[in-house]
Chain A
Amino acid sequence: MSTTEKKRGFWSEMIYNNPVFGLYLGICSTLAITTTLNNAIGMGVAVIAVLTLSNIVISLIAPLTPDEIHIPVYIVVIATLVTVVGMLMQAYTPELYSTLGTFIDLIVVNCIILGRAEAYASSHNVAESARDGLMMGLSYTFSLIAMSLIRQLLGTGVLEFSNPMNNQLIFSVRLIPESFVIPVFTTQTGAFLTFAILAAAISAIKNNDAKKAADAAKARADKEKAAAAKAVKPAKEAA
């Protein structure tokens, strides 16, 4: 991670390093499960657990792993962790497990997990890898929550969240009257629309920041150029 990136705040990192809207990784599950806030948080917690633990384990075993077998080794680690998380969810949050269904097992092939193992954890120490896994997981969860809030709100008009352990409703608020909801947002078409809008918004923020940085660099260069010209002029006059 660069010094500039480290200086950025938490929310800024959620946007700049966002795996879904910034790197376009893990989109399949994002589009499929973001129909409700419950699904988004459940899936997000599962991915945070797998991503953080896999980064820790992989950073520990990376020095022992020859290049030729590093992908099979990483896959064994990731698949084991996903299976463990799946078993725990099936035991303690059965409703959530049956709703998320096969997407829990498909965390194994989520590009974010293998991508971070390969690009970061394999070449960094345990603490840095754990931090990266946690931040990437939180960033992914942030994307899921943003998508699900928009889709659930526009598609059903209701925001609700229930306890995943016993399925008891914690809160349920109708914010849009039933006659004004747009049901297409609960479908896959709505998922693509929401994704496109959010990806465009994040891209616009990044472009705006890049433009500001370029303008500042140009102003700085002009200033330096003017200062240099000023310094050369008296020297010429003296000569």
Chain B
Amino acid sequence: MNREGTLYKVVLLGALCAICGLLLGGVNSVTAPIIEEAAIANEKANLELIYPGATFAVQDFKDDSGYIQGVYSAEGKGMIYKIHAVGYNSEGFTFLLAFNNDGTVGGYQVLEENETSGFGKRCFEDEYVSSIKGLTSNDSAPLLSGASLTSTAIQKGFDAAKALFNAGK
């Protein structure tokens, strides 16, 4: 084959890309389970708060809202969504929201928050938590008077998780 010809160049680049693709596929097949295991290990203690003793797996997801940070499946139980939203405090807060396989809320657990005591913080206290736990994937999270910024952020995060859950049904 003529080394200066277009065909030679196309074949060379194509062959190189194919070899590189195979190499990357091989390395990915070795490293992907280890990376996934590490990701689960980091979150496992938190996930156990919702579904104790379950077997968890990281799920791929596509989220246009920007609220969802991670999606985990709990085998035979449901899906858990890690959500980061910004309420009153500009650094925002992070919480887990789980939907059982039947569509009911399986858990609502705050991981990190620094909202104002007596206002935004009420969204993480028992009364609001139990109101979330009674919802399904067709509902929307309730707004809380006096904590409208925080509860609106939770509602948006809830809606983003709900959309992913319903799309994956």
Contacts and interface: CB of A to CB of B under 8 A. Distances in A.
B20 A77 contact: yes
Q: How large is the interface on A (under 10, 10 to 19, 20 to 34, 35 or more residues)?
A: 20 to 34
Interface stretch (A88-96, A118-126, A226-234): A88-96
Interface of B: 3-4, 8-9, 12-13, 16-17, 20, 23-24, 27-28, 30-31, 34-35, 38
A83 B24 contact: yes
Contacts of A80: 20, 23-24
B17 A76 contact: yes
Contact of B13 (A76, A83, A91, A94): A76
B interface majority secondary structure: helix
Nearest to A69: B9
Interface in A128-182: none
Interface string A44-81: 00000000000000000100111011001100110110
B73 to A, nearest CB: 21
B9 A66 contact: yes
Given A76-B17, A94-B38, A65 B27 contact: no
A69 B12 contact: yes
Contact of B27 (A73, A77, A84): A84
Contacts of A196: none
A77 B21 CA distance: 11
